[in-house]
Structure 1
């Protein structure tokens, strides 16, 4: 792709909208059962992830439309970590692949192991390589703590994988 296309605000808007549309339709399952202890008037478990994703897609479309109407400045976009736009696009595609792998892995290895792999992949996609012990610790301990908190405090059950069911994961 031409470098000016990659730097244009309308392209960024499309990429943001595409990411959140992917999250809405591929990552947030529509079949999430409502736990029995939640009353009928309470919002469903997928309400907040879906709400945030819809708002994100809407804001991406707003950016795209404003850029097409010429309301966005043509100044050089601020790059968050100094990485070239091609690297940022490849990280975006890597994030989509990681999320797709997460959805694919979940039935086989369950929430805990799939979340560990996703957390590690997301940290590595930021470009961070210097703090390997911290990356490993966050990737392993973060999902364990998340599952413990939700399971113990809120009684939320997470998917158990076919391959890991016998190990108690």
Structure 2
């Protein structure tokens, strides 16, 4: 079993933004990626991670504005954090889209935001075994590092011995 080959996805997080800042997030060259929504939840409390979404083939500003975050019980305190992907070179549009999709689904699965309930329960195991996400910048409540090795069954049957002095 090869456990060393990983697909590294690096995300640079920026924020917080508010709903009125959405026009600023429409740069057609860079504003694609993942976003987090923070706000008030009747069970989980104030200023908590509510939702993780993706902007793929449309800008973050356009995608977030399509959702109705103004219609919450405290929309004046809704905070948005945006994650832009970075690396040594920009991948093809198709590859970039695949990375956005994989990152969104693994982030949702691991962090379980309240408003992503449909996406929390399952993860297609084999697809995520070699994914490794590094969150940089203002990633807020997200874990700084997420590995598919930890969140899938890839290591479940790995035989190992407890270290001991010889």
Higher helix share: 1
- With the shorter chain as reference, the TM-score category is under 0.3
TM-score by length of 1: 0.26
Bigger relative contact order (CA 8 A; separation at least 6): 2
The structure in which a higher percent of residues are strand is: 2
Larger Rg: 1
